Amino acid sequence: MSLINPAYAGAEGANTAAFTTRNQWVSIENSPKTQVMTFSSERGKNIGLGLSFISNNFFVERNTASYIDFSYRLKVSENSALFLGLKAGATFFKANLIGLTSLGSENDPAQNAFSRVNPNLGIGTLLQTSSFWFSFSIPRLFNSIDTFEFSETSTDRIHTYLGSGFTFTLNENLYLKPSILIRSVSDLKTTADFVALLSIKNNLNFGVSYRTNNSLGFLATVAVVDFIEVGYAYETPMDSGLSALKINTHEIVLRFNFGQKSSAVIQPSEVEE
């Protein structure tokens, strides 16, 4: 969430760093691969700062983005807070078409190497309580599509995210955490991710996910030690025709929590105590 909503800067931990690698459709050559690094820090005077880097590689194209996040926390009540976030940065796009095979004997003028830089701004808000969270964000406010370019990527379009989740206490050590994330992209079909996690002492989380583009996933995270958390996710299409192609997706996440826990984070067990 810290990648798509700048309001999460400083909201998850005093100092939190996360590294993610995602291999999509692993059975296909030159399939999309993504690496992500995020860092957020709770600073003084209700301010949070964050950094995010993402690299997407697919076939002959490479898309990287770098953003700085700023958030401000407003205390709504004793157990709730509202975060307002601002994101600023740029997306860097490169494509090398020189090595592609041409169908004709003549040189194709489009068969060339080119790149572009698209600066952008984003906004977000997060409402967080001891048992509920609500998130709204537009990580890129401006449509950066260049009508003179023949190549258009998904990051060129304006994305709007709407998410919410609950924490239900089953007993003193067991919690149920359902959530939903809706993504709306201009000129594309809206999709939604449904996730249900079972948490044991907030140290071991495992569950299932379903995306409305007809894909099913399994995910789990475990706290190896107090400040290191490891996560794994697996996703597969539910369509019988696509399942035969074995275009599955694997994702691994490594998170570090440095320093004391953020004063903005409220765990259910803390409220009970």
Could you list the pLDDT tens digit for every one of the 273 residues in the chain? 888 999 999 888 789 999 999 998 877 777 889 999 999 999 888 999 999 999 988 877 888 999 999 999 999 988 899 999 999 999 888 877 666 666 655 666 566 667 788 899 999 999 999 899 999 999 999 876 554 455 555 566 789 999 999 999 999 899 999 999 999 987 788 999 999 999 999 899 999 999 998 889 999 999 998 889 999 999 998 876 665 666 789 999 999 988 766 555 544 444 433
What whole-number distance in Å separates Cα of residue 242 and Cα of residue 246? Answer: 7
In a domain, 263, yes or no: yes
Note whether residue 107 is domain-resident.
Answer: no
The total domain count for the chain is 1
Query: How many whole angstroms separate alpha carbon 180 and alpha carbon 71?
Result: 23
Per-residue tokens: 115:
């790149």
205-226 as b/e: b if 16+ CB within 10 A: bebebbbeeebebebebebeee
Q: Please enumerate, as own/partner, the contacts of 238-241 that have beta carbons within 8 Å and a separation of 24 or more.
A: 238/214, 239/214
210, 193 contact by CB (below 8 A): yes
Asked if the structure places residue 182 within a domain, the reply is yes
SS3 category, 161 = strand
Reduced to 3 states (helix: H, G, I; strand: E, B; else coil), residue 73 is: strand
**Residue 19: which of 196, 206, 229, 219 has the closest Cα?**
229
3-class SS at 166?
strand
Domain range holding 22? 6-96+114-272
DSSP label of 259: S
- Helix (H) / strand (E) containing 241: helix 240-243
- Give the type of residue at 87: K
Domain for residue 172, yes or no? Answer: yes
CATH number of domain containing 260: 2.40.160.40
**109 in a structural domain:** no
The answer to the question of residue 103 being in a domain is no
10 within some domain: yes
- Does residue 188 lie in a domain region? yes
pTM confidence score: 0.84
Q: 232, 220 in Cβ contact below 8 A?
A: yes
Sign of CA dihedral 210, 211, 214, 215: negative
The residues with which 164 forms a beta bridge, in sequence order, are 134, 180
85 sits in which H/E element: strand 80-96
- Please, are residues 85 and 137 in contact by the beta-carbon 8 Å criterion? yes
Length of the chain: 273
